[in-house]
């Protein structure tokens, strides 16, 4: 089964509470093999001008939504939808129907804006793995991971360029496994 990204709805302002409760439920139910990451899209800083004074303010990117990376199974679906504060899934018609996952290009946009990637480098990547470059000047090329720099979210990937193995540096969000 593939792990995919789903969007759950919450009451606006309760996103952090839902994330905390869901992560506790994952731990207590032993769902780490079915539910992987729970994220709240970061806030963006905006500058508002009021009465001639500029004031910086933080605004949520997607108020009322929490993103969950999971393998859709009956147990995982039940655990998420029965978490206090969760009002439902986006892409579900209700009546017990399972939701549809986010398309890769949509979740990539959200994750990249947060400096993240669909690939969890710590647990999914190691030197010698084959990856597909999905963004940047080498888009569409396959390569082999040479080194991983988790601190800077970068990979050195060896690609075949003009018949020679050439090292290129890419960011984590630019590759898929």
pTM of the model as a whole = 0.68
For the chain, how far is it from start to end, CA to CA, in angstroms?
Answer: 15
Residues pairing with 119 in the sheet? none
The domain spans of the chain are: 4-116, 123-176
Does residue 128 contact residue 143 with C-beta atoms inside 8 Å?
A: no
Tokens 């800077």: give the residue.
152
pLDDT grade for 171, boundaries at 50, 70 and 90? confident
Domain 123-176 CATH (choose: 2.30.30.30, 3.40.50.300, 3.90.550.10, 2.60.40.420): 2.30.30.30
The CA distance from 170 to 156, in Å, is: 6
Instruction: Considering only CA atoms, give the Rg of the chain.
Output: 19
pLDDT grade for 43, boundaries at 50, 70 and 90? low
State CA 131 to chain mean position distance: 18
- Read off the pLDDT of residues 1-13 as tens digits, 9 standing for 90 and up: 678 899 999 998 8
- Read off the pLDDT of residues 72-127 as tens digits, 9 standing for 90 and up: 988 999 899 999 999 988 887 767 778 889 887 788 777 777 766 666 666 677 88
Q: How large is the average pLDDT for residues 26-38? A: 90
**4-116 is classed CATH 3.30.70.940:** yes
């Amino acid at each position: 089964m593939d792990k995919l990204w789903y969007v759950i709805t919450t009451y606006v302002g309760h996103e952090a509470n839902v994330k905390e409760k869901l992560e506790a439920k994952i731990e207590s139910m032993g769902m780490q093999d079915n539910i992987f990451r729970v994220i709240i899209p970061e806030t963006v800083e905006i500058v508002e001008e009021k009465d001639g004074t500029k004031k910086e303010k933080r605004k949520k990117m997607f108020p009322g939504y929490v993103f969950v990376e999971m393998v859709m199974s009956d147990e995982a679906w039940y655990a998420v939808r029965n978490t206090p504060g969760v009002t439902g899934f986006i892409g579900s018609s209700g009546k017990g129907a399972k939701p549809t996952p986010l398309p890769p290009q949509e979740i990539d946009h959200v994750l990249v804006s947060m400096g993240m990637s669909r690939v969890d480098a710590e647990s999914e990547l190691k030197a010698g793995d084959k990856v597909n470059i999905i963004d940047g000047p080498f888009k569409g090329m396959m390569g082999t991971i040479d080194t991983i720099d988790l601190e800077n979210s970068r990979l050195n990937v060896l690609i075949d360029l003009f018949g020679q193995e050439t090292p290129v540096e890419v960011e984590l969000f630019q590759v898929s496994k």
